[in-house]
Amino acid sequence: MTERNAVPLPLQDVTPTSDALECIEAHVSAGGSYRRYRHASKALGCDMTFGIFLPPQAVDALCPVVWWLSGLTCTDENFMQKAGAHRVAAERGIILVCPDTSPRDTGIESDDDPLYLGAGAGFYLNATQAPWQAHYRMFDYVTEELPELIRQNFPVAKRCSIMGHSMGGLGALVCGLRLRDRYCAISAFAPMAHPSSAPWGQAAFSAYLGNDPTLWLDYDPCVLVQEELSPADAIPILIDQGDADPYLDEQLCAEDFRDACLSANYPLTLRYQAGYDHSYFFVASFIEEHLHHHADALSKEDDTF
């Protein structure tokens, strides 16, 4: 006898009605729904895409959001396809949102641009220097414009947290530390933790923000974590770092961030994972623990979650 498993609910009731969003891809995943949308961004002056995973609970309940910020050269698709995050997000009733990593098709990127500039390298900052300042305002996009668009179109609770990988880990730390009343938890995989002292960060900051290093401080986690705050305002941070990561010492500077947190008495869990590199194999190996870290922090904000 042939058995047929029940088809997961396709979440038709969670389809946005706004004309501002164009659904360009949709899949049933882990009993929920993974979708990609395109929309016109006022903050960036171009069309942008983002991915969203809606758990089954989103059919009849508001669900908290965990934001994922991806790294250099990535798009909104890498995490959603490679990290294996949907099953735990479905179990814990979490909405995952993954924006693209930069503006696209702005006319200022070229094949000659190095790895740390242009398409795929938005660094989650607001550029102030020509020609980047007209489009590269990723901090405003991921903290203001896109969250408002998500709130208007999907069943999201007020509670949210943020995580990311590499350049996206830098973005998660910066957003979380600058907007401590916004997020319940922060985590990162191999983040660029001290960009002001690392070649990739210095090159990007010089181009996007200018050559005065004092103008970079708003985007350096080692500086932001030193700001005075009460213990109640400290957002828990979890960082996983592979000890076989080829970028560890020169670009990522995990020990600098650990020392800054120790100096500021800031709660940090930094774990070195033996043998792991910088790839999504590393991310996929520990994503479940990170999602539980976020879900546990989010649940403390509301007993109904």
Q: Which residues make Cβ contacts (< 8 Å) with residue 164, sequence separation at least 6?
A: 68, 69, 70, 71, 170, 171, 172, 188, 189, 191
Query: CA dihedral in degrees (105, 134, 219, 162; nearest 10)?
Result: -50
Rounded Cα distance between 246 and 268, Å, is 23
**Global pTM?**
0.93
100 is annotated as an active-site residue: no
**Virtual CA dihedral for 285, 291, 297, 298, nearest 10 degrees?**
180
CATH of domain 28-298: 3.40.50.1820
Distance CA 236, CA 293 (A): 9
Out of 39, 165, 194, 278, which one is annotated catalytic?
A: 278
The predicted pLDDT at position 233 comes to 75
Whether 285 sits among the annotated catalytic residues: the reply is no
Q: % helix / strand / coil in the chain, to the nearest 5?
A: 40, 20, 40
For 113, the 3-state DSSP assignment is coil
Read off the amino acid at residue 1.
Answer: M
Active-site annotation holds for 302:
no
Burial of 249 (C-beta count, 10 Å sphere; 0-12/13-18/19+): exposed
Residues of the chain below pLDDT 70: 1-15, 17, 109-114, 228, 230-232, 301-305
From 135, 245, 290, 294, the catalytic residue = 245
The pLDDT score that the predictor gives to residue 110 is: 55
Catalytic residue among 29, 166, 187, 196: 166
